[in-house]
Amino acid sequence: MNDTLALANNDAMLAIRFLLELVSLLCLAIWSWRKVPSPWRWPLVVALPVAVGWAWGSFTVPDDPSKGETDIHTPGPLRLLLELAVFFGAVAALHLADLRRAARWLLAIMVGYQVLAYDRIGWLLSH
């Protein structure tokens, strides 16, 4: 394992990252439930998190220590954009669902996580 990824890949940070991934998908479902008209509500509540989760798991950087086998080889900077879009898209989803206090808290948590995972960001930018 690369020593520069020690912080982002320790067990606690990986557990936090996993929880943030799940929360992000949940936020997309909440937005769908609150903002999509009734006939499309249920399909979108299911389809949007599934599609984003599929993209999250499929578009990975080869040899990423935090991921297993990769389906679609993706350059590191593009993967970083995907991660930031999902994480901060969840914040936007809460804001657009009129849950602004929750959006502010999630924003603070997401920014804090990204600051602590600076070594992962550097790794992604260099691969």
pLDDT at 8: 78
Three-class SS of residue 59? strand
Average pLDDT, the chain: 90
pLDDT at 32: 95
Over pLDDT 70: what percentage of the chain?
94
- On the 0-12 / 13-18 / 19+ scale of CB atoms within 10 A, 74 is buried
Pick the more confident residue, 64 or 125: 125
Short-list 66, 62, 56, CA closest to 7:
66
pLDDT at 1: 43
Three-class SS of residue 10? coil
Average pLDDT on 11-30 reads 94
Asked if the model's pLDDT at residue 22 lies above 80, the reply is yes
Asked if the model's pLDDT at residue 5 lies above 90, the reply is no
For the stretch 37-49, pLDDT in tens is 888 899 999 999 9
pTM of the model: 0.89
pLDDT at 66: 72
Tokens representing 57?
């798991």
In angstroms, the CA 89 to CA 87 distance is 5
pLDDT at 78: 95
Confidence of residue 68 (pLDDT cuts 50, 70, 90): low
In angstroms, the CA 67 to CA 57 distance is 8
Q: E-assigned strands of 59-114?
A: 59-60, 72-73
How far is residue 107 from each of residues 20, 93, 94, 102, 116, measured CA to CA in Å? 11, 11, 10, 8, 14
